[in-house]
Amino acid sequence: MNAIETMDLTRKFGSLTAVDNVNLKVTEGEIFGLLGPNGAGKSTTISMLCTIMKPTSGTAKVNGYDIVHEPGQVRGSIGIVFQDPSIDDKLTGRENMEMHADLYNVPRDVMHSRIDEVLQLVELEDRASDYVNTYSGGMRRRLEIARSLIHYPRVLFLDEPTLGLDPQSRDHIWSYIRDLKKRENITIILTTHYMEEADELCDRIAIIDRSRIIAMDTPHNLKEELKGEIIILQTNNNDRLVDKLLETELADSITEINGELNLKVKNAHTALPRIVELAVSNSVYVDSISIREPHLDDVFMHFTGREIRETGGRALTGMGARIRGSLK
C-alpha cells in the first residue's frame, strides 16, 4: 500500500495557485523529500496532507484515508512537526509530552514507557524534567520530533526539520531521522530547501518549483540524469570566455557562482583541453581549474535555470525552459 497518494492536489489563495495539480505516491517505509525554494508550496502541501487546510481541488489518501472525507482517521495515524515551533516554553519536556499524549488519547498504562522511549530516541531523557525555556533550538526541535511520535503514527511529516539550526544540531537531527526509519518502520515525508539534506536523507525526492513538481526520483538518478561533470574555472575575464563558449557547444549549461564559472559538460576529459584552448586564444587567463560530480544544486539549476538559494549565482544559459518543456 502507498502511505501517501495525491490526486491532482491543488490549493489556491485568491488568484495565487500555491499547489498546482500535484501527483505523487510515497511508499510505506520511505523517506520522501519535498525539495524547493521558499514559496514553492511545500508547507501548503503538508498542511493539506495533515488535514489542517482543505484542498481547492483534487485530494489525497494518507494511510488509505481520504484527507477530505476522513480527516479524523488521517489525523490519528500521522505525526506532525510544523515549520514554526509549537512547543510550550513554560512546561517541562516531559509535561509537553504528557499533554500531547492526552490529546491523542494514548492509554495511561503505555504512555509513560512510550514517553521514555521517544525521549531516549532523541537523547533528551536527562533533560526531560527541565523547563523547555532552558533548551537550545536543536533540543526544542528534538522534543518536537519525540512528541510527534507518542501515538505511534505510521506517517511522520517534518516541515523544514533543521531550519535555522547550527550544523552540529542539524547532524543530530539527521541521525535521529535515520534511526527512526530503522526502529519504527515509519514513513517520513519531509520538506527542505537544503539540497544537502535532501541528498543525505531521502530515498526519493520531488523537486517543487513555483507550486509544481518538476522532477521526482532518487537523489542518485536525479544526478545521473545530468550525465556529466562540472568544470569549475576561475579566470580574469569570465564574461569574454562565456561569450566565446556560447558560440560553441562545449558546455551544456553555464552558471557563475561566487565569481567562478561552473560549466556542465558531458565529458570533462575531452572538453577541458578545448575549453582551455578557447580561453588562451581569446587572451583569457585561467587561474584555476577543478572538476567535480554534479550536486543536487546542479540538478535544480538544470531543471529550472535558477539557483535554489539566491547566493549571487546566475544561470547564463537557459537550460530550464528547454528541459521543462520535455517533462511529463
Ligand X SMILES: Nc1ncnc2c1ncn2[C@@H]1O[C@H](COP(=O)(O)OP(=O)(O)O)[C@@H](O)[C@H]1O
Q: How far is the CB of 82 from ligand X (least distance, A)?
A: 11
Q: Which is nearer to ligand X, 18 or 241 (CB)?
A: 18
Among 10, 43, 77, 187, binds Mg ion (CB under 5 A): 43
Grid cell digits, residue 88: 510550550
Give me the 35-54 binding string for ligand X, x by CB under 6 A, dash otherwise: -x-xxxxxxx----------
Q: Which amino acid belongs to residue 201?
A: L
114: helix, coil or strand?
helix
Q: How far is the CB of 12 from ligand X (least distance, A)?
A: 9
From the list 8-16, 53-61, 82-90, 263-271, the region that binds Mg ion by CB under 5 A is 82-90
Q: Which is nearer to Mg ion, 33 or 93 (CB)?
A: 33
CA dihedral 282, 288, 289, 290 (to 10 degrees): -160
Q: Of ligand X, Mg ion, none, which one does residue 38 interact with (CB within 5 to 8 Å by kind)? A: ligand X
Sign of the CA dihedral with 48 first, then 51, 53, and 54 last: positive
Q: How far is the CB of 202 from Mg ion (least distance, A)?
A: 17
Question: Closest separation between CB of residue 199 and ligand X, Å?
Answer: 18
Distances in whole angstroms, Cα of residue 240 to Cα of each of 117, 220, 254, 283, 284: 61, 34, 13, 9, 7
Stretch that binds ligand X, among 13-21, 57-65, 110-118, 270-278 (CB under 6 A): 13-21
Minimum CB separation from ligand X for residue 91, in Å? 28
Q: CB under 5 A: which stretch of 41-49, 70-78, 150-158, 272-280 binds Mg ion?
A: 41-49
Name the nearest CA neighbour of 161 among 145, 184, 139.
Answer: 145
Strand ordering across the sheet containing 253-257: 286-292, 229-235, 260-265, 253-257, 314-315
In angstroms and rounded to an integer, the radius of gyration of the C-alpha atoms of the chain is 23
Residues forming contacts to ligand X in the complex (CB under 6 A) are 13, 16, 18, 36, 38-44
Positions in the binding site for Mg ion (CB under 5 A): 42-43, 83
